[in-house]
A and B are shown apart, each in its own frame.
Chain A
Amino acid sequence: MSSPVQPGQIQEAHVVAPEPAEPVERADASPRRRRRRPGPALSPLGRVGEAVRWVLLLGCSALFLYPFAWLLAASFKPRGEVFDNRLIPQTWQPENYVQVFDELPLVAWLGNSLLIAVLAAALVTVSSSLVAFGFAYFRFPGRKVLFGVVLATMMLPGAVTLVPQFLIWNQLGFVGTHVPLWGANLFGSAFYIFLQRQFFLSLPKELFEAARIDGLSAWGQFWRIAFPLSVPSFVIVFLFEFQASWNNLQGALIYLNAGSPEAYTVPLGIASAMTKYSPTSGGHGDYQYVMVAALIVTLPMLILFAFGQRSFIEGLATSGRKG
């Protein structure tokens, strides 16, 4: 059976749908909205203001970029020079990038982190959108109350469920495996459900009414209409969760710390390497390996941001709108 969605409608839906995106996208684009200072644009005061703004922006940029430059430089330095604060290494030692793989099981860590992050992100994207679709398009007793509960759980501090969740995973026999780091994502996550529901509600209702009249099942409405149209919001959810999972230190500490280093994720691995190599905490000082590892764990995130910048910023702007 062919999808009842017409191409034209899809186009329109795309234009209408990511409503949260609009304001942010104007950030760098629209000169029309930028008329912040009426009156003579180049009064002496205005010119001073403009100069001050440039100085501040450039200064802040330098401060924000400095740690990256420092990290990049340190990763190429030999043992004795890692701490010298030079942004151009006195002695170049690119071998660090080869040796680090002998020093640390970095490939295993990266593999573990990647697998967990992809699973966690894919599962939470699918489960949250299923739940969001249920809340957005079906009427059933208790819907409002249940959605209120979804919103309320967003305010619940994670610390409250930390201990019991550990004990639940322990009883299921999964402590020491990677399962607890993605398992709960099978059941959706409050913020993503909220975000997806907003998106679904912005799709034109007529699409679904037409489909219903054509006899498309509820599942068909989700799979053939809502799903293909929600790619932008899927990307937001996927990227957010991927980043959260990639960063997840506490979960790895709780569930993997007692096991073999081979099973570590990158955050846990680097944390252990910091102790092993940092001279200030009794390590033996080859801190350049930590720097290489830190750079390697950061790069995928920067690449992700290069491709998904819009999604990250839209997602955050939406989170602000729920307040």
Chain B
Amino acid sequence: MSTTTAKPRMTKLQRREAIAGYLFISPWIVGFLVFTLGAMVYSLVISFSHYQLATDTARPAGFSNYQALVEDPKVMTALANTLYYAVLAVPLEVLLALGLALLLNSQRRGAGLFRTIFYLPKMTPVVATASVFLLLLNGSQGAINRGLAAIGIDGPQWLLDPAWIKPSIVLMTLWGVAGTMVIFLAALQNVPTDLYEAASLDGAGAFRRFWNVTLPMISPAIFFNVLVLTIAAFQIFDQAFLLFHRDTVQGSSDASLFYAIYLFQQAFRQFNFGFAAAMAWLLFLIILVISLIQMRVGNRFVYYESEEAR
């Protein structure tokens, strides 16, 4: 990889350096122009047209895809389901992950082994998880309801009762919560011990130490996890698809119709690309707004150590 002859303006050396730099990042530039920026522009164009896959032609549609979006009650259903799922899943994931991380962080013996055990579900491919949970969650024979019956609880029809469909997906998601846990664990281990010692000398109990030392110190990790988990929750697809939407014949209830599922159905089952592209842009806007709100709120509560360069 040789750099060619130089011209004035920058020094010869600077110019060679710049050319080398551009050459190194050129794969990303090409990919960005085609698969990100190009794709986004393309998507915007498609959302304003009626696209025919068979003939690869598009005729202008004006705002009709967006109008159809607003008028389709299923879009609202999907949006409501997704929002409900996110509101249910994200706090539970954060709480469980933080709880497990705190347990591991205060454990002397076997912490590494426990961490490994908690992490195994995260390594399990989602198809395998779903194929097992499909049976564990079975209302009449499933192990979860058998277990609940053993302690005197009459378990619900997880996969059939519309009210329990979202909790059953949350349960599956919680099983793989270790990714979030590991991020908390790293944050907890970065809290300087002298802060705890100082707090103890000031007479702070365990709870006060957690509330006034641990929580502020790990607030960047909490913020990061909430942000990332929310974005992921809004795009929930695999679990819902595997449990409820594998085949088109099976008339699954509207309660499991999540936004990404409906988008997928519109695009790749109905070949309604214009509508699907419009749906994607609506989702983009919603995620953007929610992320911005979270960042504003986050800025008020998150404590960043100023001297630590990021």
Q: Is B one of A's binding partners?
A: yes
Q: How far is the CA of A146 from the CA of B36 in the complex (A)?
A: 14
**Interchain CB contact (< 8 A) of A138 among B17, B197, B276:** B17
Q: How big is chain B's contact interface, by range?
A: 35 or more
How near does chain B come to A219, taking the closest CB pair, in angstroms? 4
Across the interface, name the chain B residue whose C-beta is closest to A54: B107
Residues of the B chain whose Cβ atoms lie less than 8 Å from the Cβ of A222: 24
Across the interface, name the chain A residue whose C-beta is closest to B45: A164
Task: Type the 1/0 row for A222-262, where 1 means its CB is closer than 8 Å to any CB of B.
Answer: 10000000000000000000010011011001100100000
Majority SS at the chain A contact face: helix
Residues of the A chain whose Cβ atoms lie less than 8 Å from the Cβ of B267: 162-163, 166
Interface residues of B in 278-304 (CB under 8 A from A): 280-281, 283-284, 287, 291
Query: Is there an interface contact between B111 and A28, defined as CB atoms closer than 8 Å?
Result: yes
If A157-B231, A171-B56 touch, whether A294 touches B34 (CB-CB below 8 Å) is no
A91 within 8 A of B: no
B151 within 8 A of A: no
Residues of the A chain whose Cβ atoms lie less than 8 Å from the Cβ of B200: 38-39
How near does chain B come to A158, taking the closest CB pair, in angstroms? 7
Residues of the B chain whose Cβ atoms lie less than 8 Å from the Cβ of A312: 119, 123
Query: Is there an interface contact between A33 and B130, defined as CB atoms closer than 8 Å?
Result: no
Residues of the B chain whose Cβ atoms lie less than 8 Å from the Cβ of A85: 141-143, 146
**Interchain CB contact (< 8 A) of A316 among B22, B46, B183, B227:** B183
If A138-B21, A160-B283 touch, whether A27 touches B129 (CB-CB below 8 Å) is no
A1 within 8 A of B: no
How near does chain B come to A75, taking the closest CB pair, in angstroms? 10
Residues of the B chain whose Cβ atoms lie less than 8 Å from the Cβ of A203: none
Task: Type the 1/0 row for A88-110, where 1 means its CB is closer than 8 Å to any CB of B.
Answer: 00000000000000000000000
B30 within 8 A of A: yes
Determine which residue in A158, A218, A291 has the highest number of CB atoms from chain B within 10 A of its CB, and name it.
A218
B95 within 8 A of A: no
Determine which residue in A65, A247, A282 has the highest number of CB atoms from chain B within 10 A of its CB, and name it.
A247
How near does chain A come to B134, taking the closest CB pair, in angstroms? 7
Query: Is there an interface contact between B277 and A254, defined as CB atoms closer than 8 Å?
Result: no
Query: Is there an interface contact between B28 and A53, defined as CB atoms closer than 8 Å?
Result: no
If A27-B185, A139-B21 touch, whether A167 touches B273 (CB-CB below 8 Å) is yes
A114 within 8 A of B: no
If A157-B287, A161-B43, A247-B125 touch, whether A320 touches B187 (CB-CB below 8 Å) is yes
B211 within 8 A of A: no
Across the interface, name the chain A residue whose C-beta is closest to B286: A157
Across the interface, name the chain B residue whose C-beta is closest to A305: B123
B224 within 8 A of A: yes
Across the interface, name the chain B residue whose C-beta is closest to A143: B21
**Interchain CB contact (< 8 A) of B284 among A71, A157, A247:** A157
A130 within 8 A of B: yes
Determine which residue in B116, B125, B146 has the highest number of CB atoms from chain A within 10 A of its CB, and name it.
B125
A78 within 8 A of B: no
Task: Type the 1/0 row for B36-56, where 1 means its CB is closer than 8 Å to any CB of A.
Answer: 101110110010000101001
Task: Type the 1/0 row for B206-221, where 1 means its CB is closer than 8 Å to any CB of A.
Answer: 1000000000000011
Q: How far is the CA of A133 from the CA of B23 in the complex (A)?
A: 11
Q: How far is the CA of A105 from the CA of B206 in the complex (A)?
A: 57
Residues of the A chain whose Cβ atoms lie less than 8 Å from the Cβ of B273: 163, 167
Query: Is there an interface contact between A320 and B246, defined as CB atoms closer than 8 Å?
Result: no
Query: Is there an interface contact between A53 and B223, defined as CB atoms closer than 8 Å?
Result: no
Interface residues of B in 231-287 (CB under 8 A from A): 231, 234-235, 237-238, 241-242, 246-247, 249-250, 260, 263-264, 267-268, 273, 276-277, 280-281, 283-284, 287
**Interchain CB contact (< 8 A) of A131 among B28, B124, B138:** B28
Task: Type the 1/0 row for A289-307, where 1 means its CB is closer than 8 Å to any CB of B.
Answer: 0110011011001101100
Across the interface, name the chain B residue whose C-beta is closest to A274: B131
Determine which residue in A67, A304, A305 has the highest number of CB atoms from chain B within 10 A of its CB, and name it.
A67
Query: Is there an interface contact between A157 and B283, defined as CB atoms closer than 8 Å?
Result: yes
Query: Is there an interface contact between B115 and A218, defined as CB atoms closer than 8 Å?
Result: no
Q: How far is the CA of A66 from the CA of B121 in the complex (A)?
A: 10
Query: Is there an interface contact between B27 and A31, defined as CB atoms closer than 8 Å?
Result: no
How near does chain B come to A121, taking the closest CB pair, in angstroms? 15
Query: Is there an interface contact between A160 and B284, defined as CB atoms closer than 8 Å?
Result: yes
A210 within 8 A of B: no
Of B73-81, B84-92, B161-169, B188-196, the one touching chain A: B188-196
Interface residues of A in 34-58 (CB under 8 A from B): 34-39, 53, 56-57
Q: How far is the CA of A243 from the CA of B126 in the complex (A)?
A: 11
Query: Is there an interface contact between A254 and B125, defined as CB atoms closer than 8 Å?
Result: no
Query: Is there an interface contact between B235 and A34, defined as CB atoms closer than 8 Å?
Result: no
Query: Is there an interface contact between B35 and A218, defined as CB atoms closer than 8 Å?
Result: no
Q: Give 19 new A-B contacts, CB below 8 A, not counting A188-B27, A249-B242.
A: A28-B112, A35-B197, A61-B114, A127-B28, A134-B21, A134-B25, A158-B235, A164-B42, A250-B264, A253-B268, A274-B134, A280-B159, A302-B124, A316-B186, A317-B185, A319-B183, A322-B224, A323-B223, A323-B228
CB pairs A–B below 8 angstroms (13 shown): A27-B104, A35-B197, A61-B118, A65-B117, A131-B28, A146-B25, A160-B283, A163-B46, A168-B35, A218-B1, A222-B24, A274-B131, A321-B310
